[in-house]
């Protein structure tokens, strides 16, 4: 299991790579005209898991991580890899 930030257009996605090779999007941070927005993925509807108007991508990353969205897929505490994976 790996968890890392992956480059996307206008921002980053928090990605979980399972042992089977499946990539699961756990959330993301985007740089928009009106500031930074972030969302932590969930299987249900939880409007508190998204925010707009943040000051930096790092604030957005911290916002996503506070929800520990990987817990919906694995019970373990995972660490995010330091290196950002380039988009393919």
What is the pLDDT, as a whole number, of residue 20? 93
For the stretch 30-40, what's the b/e string if a residue is b when 16 or more beta carbons lie within 10 angstroms of its beta carbon?
A: beeeeebbbbb
CA 69 – CA 40 distance, rounded (Å): 6
CA 70 – CA 1 distance, rounded (Å): 11
Residue 80 lies in a domain: no
Residue 87 lies in a domain: no
CA 50 – CA 70 distance, rounded (Å): 16
Residue 78 lies in a domain: no
pTM given for the model:
0.90
Which domain covers residue 34, as residue numbers? 2-72
Ranges under pLDDT 50 in the chain: none
Q: How many domains does the chain have?
A: 1
What is the pLDDT, as a whole number, of residue 77? 85
């Amino acid at each position: 299991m790996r968890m890392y930030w992956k480059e996307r257009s206008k921002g980053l996605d928090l990605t979980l790579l399972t042992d089977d090779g499946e990539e699961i999007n756990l959330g993301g941070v985007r740089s928009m005209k009106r500031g930074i927005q972030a969302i932590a993925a969930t299987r249900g509807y939880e409007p508190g898991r998204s925010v707009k108007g943040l000051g930096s991508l790092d604030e957005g990353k911290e916002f996503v991580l506070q929800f520990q969205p990987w817990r919906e897929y694995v019970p373990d505490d995972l660490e995010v890899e330091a290196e950002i994976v380039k988009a393919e």
